[in-house]
Amino acid sequence: MPSCQELYQQANQLTLLEKLHLAEFLLADLDKPDQEIDVIWKDEAQKRWQAYQAGELITVSYDTMMQKYK
């Protein structure tokens, strides 16, 4: 099996479009669902939504937040 460096050297000879497709394939392969993490995030999202509805969260408007990054 070729080393990562050898694979990089081969990939570096591809066209930009071919590199993009390769990157998409690699990222898609890494992006596997994890049910345990999904459950944790679902629970966290529900807690945050409930806290928001109960008025327990300090919220900031979109415009105010965007001003921070201009």
On whether both 25 and 49 belong to a single domain, the answer is no
For the chain, the average pLDDT equals: 95
The residues near 2 (Cβ < 8 Å, ≥ 6 apart) are 10
| Distance in angstroms (rounded) separating the CA atoms of residues 43 and 32 | 20
Percent of the chain whose predicted confidence (pLDDT) is above 90: 89
| Distance in angstroms (rounded) separating the CA atoms of residues 18 and 34 | 29
The range of the structural domain enclosing residue 22 comes to 1-32
On whether both 41 and 58 belong to a single domain, the answer is yes
Residue-wise pLDDT tens digits, 24-40: 999 999 988 899 999 99
| Distance in angstroms (rounded) separating the CA atoms of residues 16 and 24 | 12
On whether both 26 and 40 belong to a single domain, the answer is no
Is pLDDT at 46 greater than 90 in this prediction?
yes
pLDDT of res. 22: 97
pLDDT of res. 70: 85
Is pLDDT at 17 greater than 90 in this prediction?
yes
Using a 10 angstrom Cβ sphere, with 0-12 exposed, 13-18 middle and 19 or more buried, the burial of residue 22 is middle
On whether both 44 and 25 belong to a single domain, the answer is no
Number of domains in the chain: 2
